[in-house]
Amino acid sequence: MLDDPAAGPATTRPAVPTDPTSPQVRAVLDVDLPGATISKHVYGHFAEHLGRCIYGGFWVGEDSDVPNEGGIRLDVVEALKALDIPNLRWPGGCFADTYHWRDGVGPREQRPTMVNSHWGDVVEDNSFGTHEFMALCELLGTDPYVSANVGSGTVREAAEWIEYLTRADESPMAQLRRSHGREEPWRVPFWGLGNEPWGCGGGMGAGAYAELARQYGTYSLDHGDNHLYRIAAGAADADYPWTEVLMQNLGRYLGVGEVSGHGKNTYQAISFHHYTVVGPTWENKGSATDFDTDEYYRTMVKAAEIERIIAGHANVMDAYDPDRLVGLVLDEWGTWFDVEPGTNPGFLFQQNTLRDALVASVHFDAFHRHADRLVMANIAQTVNVLQAMLLTDGDALVLTPSYHVFEMNKGHQGAAVLPLTVRGEAPVHDVDGTALPTFSGSASVRDGHVLVSLSNLDATAPLTVEVDVRGSAVGAPTGRLLTAGSLTAHNTATDTAVQVRDLDDVSVEDGVLRVTLPAHSFATVRFAVDA
Q: For the CB of residue 114, give the shortest distance to ligand AHR in the complex, in Å.
A: 16
| C-beta separation of 421 from 409 below 8 A | no
Active site residue 332: yes
> Which residue's CB is nearer to ligand AHR, number 48 or number 160?
48
User: Which residue spans within 369-462 are E strands per DSSP?
Assistant: 374-380, 390-393, 396-399, 416-418, 420-423, 428-431, 434-437, 439-446, 449-456
Report if residue 68 touches ligand AHR, rule: CB under 6 A.
Answer: no
Q: For the CB of residue 195, give the shortest distance to ligand AHR in the complex, in Å.
A: 5
Q: Between 181 and 210, how does the x/- string for binding to ligand AHR read (CB under 6 A)?
A: --------------xx--------------
Q: For the CB of residue 336, give the shortest distance to ligand AHR in the complex, in Å.
A: 8
Choices 56-64, 86-94, 442-450, 517-525 (CB under 6 A): range interacting with ligand AHR: 86-94
Cα–Cα distance measured from residue 338 to residue 400, given in angstroms and rounded to the nearest whole number? 17
Among residues 300, 316, 358, 380, the one that binds ligand AHR under rule CB under 6 A: 380
Please identify the residue of the shown chain whose CB is closest to the bound ligand AHR.
93
Q: Check residue 309 and report its DSSP letter.
A: H
Report the alpha-carbon angle 90-93-98, nearest 5.
90
Q: Between 93 and 112, how does the x/- string for binding to ligand AHR read (CB under 6 A)?
A: xx------------------
Active site residue 196: yes
Listed in sequence order, the residues at least 6 apart from 23 whose beta carbon sits closer than 8 Å to its beta carbon are 427, 438, 458, 461, 462, 463, 464
Q: For the CB of residue 335, give the shortest distance to ligand AHR in the complex, in Å.
A: 11
Choices 17-25, 70-78, 91-99, 509-517 (CB under 6 A): range interacting with ligand AHR: 91-99
| C-beta separation of 524 from 452 below 8 A | yes
Kindly tell me the sign of the dihedral angle through the C-alpha atoms of 210, 212, 218, 221. negative
C-alpha distance from residue 182 to each of 101, 114, 165, 166 (Å):
16, 25, 10, 11
> Which residue's CB is nearer to ligand AHR, number 117 or number 127?
117
Among residues 51, 92, 192, 217, the one that binds ligand AHR under rule CB under 6 A: 92
Choices 131-139, 215-223, 240-248, 379-387 (CB under 6 A): range interacting with ligand AHR: 379-387
Cα–Cα distance measured from residue 524 to residue 144, given in angstroms and rounded to the nearest whole number? 29
Strand pairing report for 512-517 and 463-470 = antiparallel
Cα–Cα distance measured from residue 207 to residue 248, given in angstroms and rounded to the nearest whole number? 10
* Interface positions, 454-513, toward ligand AHR (CB under 6 A): none
Alpha-carbon radius of gyration of the chain: 23
Among residues 48, 143, 160, 407, the one that binds ligand AHR under rule CB under 6 A: 48
> Which residue's CB is nearer to ligand AHR, number 378 or number 483?
378
Q: For the CB of residue 376, give the shortest distance to ligand AHR in the complex, in Å.
A: 15
Cα–Cα distance measured from residue 96 to residue 473, given in angstroms and rounded to the nearest whole number? 51
Task: Give the CA count within 13 Å in the CB-facing half-sphere of 242.
Answer: 22
Cα–Cα distance measured from residue 355 to residue 359, given in angstroms and rounded to the nearest whole number? 6
Report if residue 332 touches ligand AHR, rule: CB under 6 A.
Answer: yes
Catalytic residue among 196, 258, 295, 407: 196
Catalytic positions are 196, 332
Binding residues for ligand AHR (CB under 6 A)? 48, 92-94, 195-196, 332, 380-381, 386
